[in-house]
Structure 1
């Protein structure tokens, strides 16, 4: 536990806030705990049993509540499996294998097998987009469609936000809320308080590798990529260029004025996945 949280007590506080938030999930849902070779994995399942299946992977510092604003749009039509990524502040195992090793692909093999999905659509945001891309490139036969929201691994990481954020880090909860706004590019209101509290206890990954061209060229399934033109964390223009060159069949959309946290994309995602 100490690897991903600053203290054991802080980790428990993060999990307790998450459990409370799950009680506000806006549609009926089933809570599953799957055994995988990386440890127990928590999955929240919503939508009709016979709906097109989707495995949703959140970003760094997130959990299934990433999709809370979207699930009411998706659940009438899609069978959404919101997975808590291992090594992140959800209810899955607090293990953090190296990105680029076979560990995350094998973990997702176990998740997909445990859910009885083959093939399935994958939906990933930020780090979740990196994981979805890695899996789709190595297991293309198991991925029917791929949706990537501000994905890691395409464009280079950017750090221009760091000098702006540093002065606020010493200003407690208020300062953390300001940092959340700088990083996400969105005014999240009360949600920023919860995110700031999580990052006050959580140790995020520091590096997300950029994929070599050969990995992206293996994405042969239908692909939707959505980026914000004001993403403070990833070079979204670079993402667009690489997708155009290496995944030419992909549907690429740039959201004007949007940052790294892409809000309001539920309709576009549903249209692509139905």
Structure 2
């Protein structure tokens, strides 16, 4: 299934006999809270899901946004009305990188039909489609989480992939080079990783770039059809948009996610760090 859906197609499906479950996952690293934006207005029927509390485990040794425990994720998804028999569409109000986290977790959990709203909430509004502030009370879903349906890397696996395949660092260039590090203990990147900022997946209008453009983009980064590839970012959130973008580009095998990402790697002073423009 194509992982993206347009606002117009989503609106048509919401009027159909089997409407998808819609998850509002708006979130910003520096705030304001996505829940406040949701309360002001959201896609009709959408259920708010909080990244920090619902789509991640407790921060700590595993990083700032470790994968949630399967039972906890299942409870969240069932409360939102998620069923295996119905599609799920996630959206944010930025570049799709937070919605991609929900998409990836659903895939990891074994859901057969998650998608991301192309252009997010801004595209929905630009299309003149309705919004509401009413908080829905969805019928409890029956989706059963079966973890492990998407490949995941630990620190050792990420280091090996950086040597023997392609490990893509989804953070902004200044964080990759080590010029700045606003959140995590050390600045720089995993030696051998290639910078692939998640912001490059979308155009100026917030819509995802065409498949052929993304395919060319990743080819320039050294990703071939048979190249082992993985991704990481600051805490395992925006790296999922790299995995989504690779799928949009036509890659058949999903890329692996280093779930702990830089927030996990940088905690251990024994792990090497590279700085500058080159992978190192």
Is TM > 0.5 for Structure 1 vs Structure 2?
A: no
Under TM normalisation by the shorter chain, which class is it?
0.3 to 0.5
More helix by share: 1
More strand by share: 1
Taking structure 2 as the reference length, the TM-score comes to: 0.32
